[in-house]
Amino acid sequence: MNHFLDIHKTDAVELHQIINSAQQMKDARAGRTRGALDDDLPLKDRVVALIFEKPSTRTRISFDVGVRQMGGTTMVLSGTDMQLGHGETIADTARVMSRYVDLIMIRTFDESVLMEMAEYADVPVINGLTDRTHPCQIMADVMTFEEHRGPIKGKKVVWSGDGNNVCSSFLHAAAQFQFDLTFTGPAQLDPEDEFVGLARKAGSKVVIERDAVKALTGADLVVTDTWVSMHDSQSSKERRHNMLRPYQINEELMSHAKPDALFMHCLPAHREEEATSAVMDGPNSVIFDEAENRLHAQKAIMRWCLGV
Candidate list 133, 137, 182, 226; residue touching ligand CP; CB under 6 A = 137
Q: Which residues contact 124 (CB under 8 A, 6 or more apart)?
A: 1, 2, 3, 4, 103, 104, 302, 305, 306
Q: From the CA atom positions of the chain, what is the Rg in Å?
A: 19
Choose the catalytic residue: 29, 134, 265, 303.
134
- 266 contacts ligand NVA (rule: CB under 6 A): yes
CA distance 155 to 151: 8
Please list, in sequence order, all residues whose beta carbon lies within 8 angstroms of the beta carbon of residue 121, skipping any fewer than 6 positions away. 94, 95, 97, 98, 104
Q: Which stretch binds ligand CP (CB under 6 A): 2-10, 51-59, 75-83, 93-101?
A: 51-59
- How many residues make up the chain in this entry? 308
Strand ranges (E), 206-272: 206-208, 221-224, 262-265
188: annotated active-site residue: no
Nearby residues of 267 by Cβ (< 8 Å), 6 or more positions away: 57, 58, 287, 290, 291
Q: Exactly one of 6, 102, 225, 290 binds ligand NVA (CB under 6 A); which one? A: 225
Partner in contact with 242, chosen from ligand CP, ligand NVA, none, beta carbon below 5 to 8 Å by kind: none
- Shortest approach of ligand CP to residue 255 CB, angstroms? 27
Angle between helical axes of 12-28 and 165-177 (0-180°, round to 10): 100
Contact assessment for residue 154 and residue 204, using Cβ atoms and an 8 Å cutoff = no
Shortest CB 32 distance to ligand NVA, Å = 27
* 155 and 262 Cβ atoms separated by less than 8 Å: no
For residue 156, the partner it binds in ligand NVA, ligand CP, none, with Cβ less than 5 to 8 A by kind, is none
266 a catalytic residue: yes
According to CB under 6 A, which one of 230, 269, 278, 308 is a site residue for ligand NVA? 230
Q: Which stretch binds ligand CP (CB under 6 A): 55-63, 72-80, 195-203, 276-284?
A: 55-63
Task: Confirm or reject binding of residue 58 to ligand CP (CB under 6 A).
Answer: yes
Q: Determine the interface stretch with ligand CP among 28-36, 172-180, 190-198, 261-269 (rule: CB under 6 A).
A: 261-269
CA 171 to chain centre: 12
Give the active site residues: 107, 134, 137, 225, 266, 294
Binding residues for ligand CP (CB under 6 A): 56-59, 129, 137, 266-268
Binding residues for ligand NVA (CB under 6 A): 129, 164-166, 225-226, 229-230, 266
